[in-house]
Amino acid sequence: MKLFLTAGEASGDALGAALMAGLKALCPDVRFEGVGGPLMAAEGLDSLFPMEDLAVMGLLEVLPKYRFLKRRIAEAAAAVTAARPDALITIDSPDFSLRVAKLVREANPSQKTIHYVAPTVWAWRPGRAAKMAPLIDHVLALFPFEPPYMEAAGMTCDFVGHPVVSMPRATEAEASAFRESHSIDEDQPLLLCLPGSRRGEVTRLMPRFELALDRLQADHPGLRIAIPTVRGVAGVVGDRAARWQNPPLILTDAADKRAAFGAANLALAASGTVSLELAANRVPMVIAHDFNRLTWWMMKRAALIDTVTLVNIVSETRAVPEFLGPACRPGPIVDALARLLADPAARTAQLAAMEATMDRLGRGAEAPGLRAARSVLARLGGS
């Protein structure tokens, strides 16, 4: 069996790697081609081009790279058409994925297509499912409430669980060792600063996060800060953090990052799947994100829900405070973080929401990567 997979950012790389591992366990002769990052490479993928080429977010942010991205889309589609895989599996990154699928379907209408991560039609732009249906046969959904939306549009869909429920977590010993190795006493609060995995996010958010955390450290002198980051933006994160009044720890090693999540007391994070990683590690958080003005305006007009934080959505609470668009300002962010440090009730509410979230995403069931692999093979007639 030959499969062509595409992923466009760090979260998709993790999904792809888990899916590949599951497929290898169930179908040892499977072969892979496609586009992915270091995690997918570790599972045997020789990426057609660097995944980081695709890590662009926001409507106007894409425009300067439009021609380059269009070439990458055409390059990927041509590779799929030449490879004639048993299935094209596109992973998240819909602006890239669905354009590739469209070109592939034009060249080979019988090509089987699977998309991993259902579009958030329950949050905004509900028409996306209908537009996706002519291009995609089957969808692998991360959230239990998503299959009916996809099926109503004409695709088959399986809830396979969210990979966050099976991510390895640091032991208490590893968390303590992390604190000891970085001279962080057990009674010192440790804050994780998570400004995103895309260059545009980091560039936009780091200055605001710096101002907020400078103020927080002024009121809590013992506070230590660590920034876990990914390969594609580690350079810009390090350069910008070096200018901070109190330079934070920059963490790129996977084991160090895992230990930091286990050792942390709270977090300031960009919007995205990182909120689920924090929830899995029981780290109370504040979410803050900003966008280009036009992007924000269009998102607000299209929004169907009043929160973007996944913990809030899945748990059906609003326990996690978020500051988006014009509200992404240092003052309110500092106040929310200070409350998490001082108010046990605020922390307790978040922890309860986190527990509900993990249970609803499949904690305790078969690993999502293996569930996703079973769904793929069933769709292709392999099990």
Residue-wise pLDDT tens digits, 156-173: 999 999 989 998 999 999
pLDDT in tens, 197-213: 888 889 999 999 999 99
pLDDT in tens, 20-79: 999 999 999 999 999 999 999 999 999 999 998 886 544 445 566 778 889 999 999 999
pLDDT in tens, 127-167: 899 999 999 999 999 999 999 999 999 999 999 999 899 98
Phi, psi of 303 (to 5 degrees): -70, 140
Q: What is the H or E stretch that residue 251 is in?
A: strand 249-251
pLDDT in tens, 303-342: 778 898 999 999 999 999 999 999 999 999 999 999 999 9
Instruction: Give 293's pLDDT tier (boundaries 50, 70, 90).
Output: low
In the three-class reduction of DSSP (H, G, I as helix; E, B as strand; rest coil), residue 159 is classed as: strand
- Give the residue from 81, 112, 330, 118 showing the smallest Cα distance to 217: 330
- Give the residue from 337, 307, 344, 16 showing the smallest Cα distance to 194: 337
| Residue ranges of domains in the chain, CATH in brackets | 2-161+365-379 (3.40.50.2000), 172-360 (3.40.50.2000)
pLDDT in tens, 235-268: 999 999 999 988 999 999 999 999 999 999 999 9
Angle, alpha carbons 194-124-230 (nearest 5°):
20
- Give the residue from 362, 22, 313, 355 showing the smallest Cα distance to 159: 362
**The two three-digit tokens of residue 254, written as one number:** 């996977």
Q: What is the pLDDT of residue 60?
A: 47
Q: What is the pLDDT of residue 104?
A: 98
Question: Between residues 125 and 253, which one has the greater pLDDT?
Answer: 253
Phi, psi of 193 (to 5 degrees): -105, 120
Torsion of CA 366, 9, 279, 311, to 10 degrees: -100
Q: How far apart are CA 379 and CA 26, in angstroms?
A: 14
How many CB atoms are closer than 10 A to CB 46? 10
Rounded alpha-carbon distances, angstroms, from residue 258 to 25, 135, 268, 367: 25, 37, 16, 19
